Amino acid sequence: MSPLQIILIALLSVELLSILLYVPHMIWWVEGRRPQERLRAKKQRKFALLIPARDESKAIAPLLDSVKRQTYPADLIDVRVIVKDPDDPTIGMVRETLPDAAIQVVPNQKRKADAMDACMQTILSTGHAPDAYLIVDADCILSSTYVEEMNNAMESGADVVIPRKLIKNWLTEKKEYRTLYANCSAMTYVGVDDMGNKSKSKRGYPLALCGQGMLIGARVIENLGGYPFRSLTEDYELAVECMRRGYKQLYYEYAEIYSEEPLTRHEYNKRRIRWLKGFAQFNKTYGGEVREMTFGHGKPDPGKLHFLYDLFPVYGMLGADGIGFAACLILALIRFFAGVGGIGSALLWSLLPIGIAYLELFVFAAAQLWVSHDFCRMTRREKIRFLFLFPFVSIEYAWIFVLAFTTTVRADDWAPVARMSIDSDEVGTEAVREEREREASA
- How does pLDDT run across 154-207, given as a tens digit for each residue? 999 999 999 999 999 999 888 899 999 999 999 999 999 999 999 999 999 999
Compute the distance between CA of residue 254 and CA of residue 299 in angstroms, rounded to an integer: 35
Distance CA 342, CA 88 (A): 68
Q: Are strands 77-83 and 160-167 parallel, antiparallel or unpaired?
A: unpaired
- Which among 360, 343, 177 has a CA at the least distance from the CA of 259? 177
The span from the CA of 184 to the CA of 253, in Å, is: 20
Question: pLDDT at position 411, please?
Answer: 45
**In terms of C-beta density within 10 A (0-12 exposed, 13-18 middle, 19 or more buried), how is residue 348 classed?**
exposed
Nearest Cα neighbor of 170 from 162, 158, 179 is 179
Buried b (16+ CB within 10 A) or exposed e, 227-237: bebebbbbbbb
Burial 363-393 (b: 16+ CB within 10 A, else e): ebbebbbebbeebbbbeeebeeebeebbbeb
Separation of alpha carbons 50 and 326, rounded Å: 49
The model's confidence at residue 337, banded by pLDDT at 50, 70 and 90, is confident
Half-sphere exposure for 72 (CA within 13 Å, toward CB): 27
Residue type, 302: P
Of 109 and 132, the one with more pLDDT: 132
pLDDT digits (tens, 9 = 90+) for 66-124: 999 999 999 999 999 999 999 999 999 999 999 999 999 999 888 888 899 999 999 99
Name the burial class of residue 134, with classes exposed (0-12), middle (13-18) and buried (19+) by CB atoms within 10 angstroms of its CB.
buried
> Residues 344-377: pLDDT tens digits?
888 888 899 999 999 999 999 999 999 999 999 9
pLDDT of 227 over the 60 cut: yes
